[in-house]
Amino acid sequence: MVGERFQWYQLQNAEKKREGASEIRRAFNIYTTNLNFNPNKYQWKGSTQEKSQRIRNDRLPTTTDVIRSDLDARDIYRNAVQTSLDDAKAEYIYQIKESKDNYQKFDPTELVEILSQAQASVDKWFGFIPDGDVKAALEAVQREQL
């Protein structure tokens, strides 16, 4: 147990350092940290047939399994966004340097592909947010702009 707590502390400390270097990472983490899950129930999103089969085989996930899976998926997409943005920055710098040093035309092809990957990851991350929460957030922003 002590080893697990120490490892958790080290992971938290490392994440804080990464957050210090990335506003985007920090924003994703703030949202995720403030999520509230009901530890007693979750909504099944698979087919009725799959649910029945899992129940018969005693393989229906627990709420803890579902919450852990949700948080892990959010972290994976957050990391993919961060990696894509880091790659995009490096590609942009490379293209600028190449166009200046070698008098080549700036080629945005790779940069566009990297940014498309970032957009896909952002869309997947935001896909976890319930529509009602998105609507409430948009309404709050609109009220502030008045």
Length of the chain: 146
Summarize the confidence of residues 96-124 as an average pLDDT: 91
> Distance between CA atoms of 21 and 27, rounded to whole angstroms?
12
Q: How confident is the model at residue 10 (pLDDT cuts 50, 70, 90)?
A: confident
Give 123 or 33, the one with higher predicted confidence.
123
- Alpha carbons 71 and 36: distance in angstroms, whole number: 11
CA distances to 23, 57, 105, 128 from 33, rounded to whole Å, are 15, 34, 44, 14
CA separation for the pair 15, 54 (Å, rounded): 36
What span, in angstroms and rounded, lies between the C-alpha atoms of 118 and 113?
A: 9
Please count the other Cβ atoms lying within 10 Å of the Cβ belonging to residue 60: 15
pTM score: 0.77
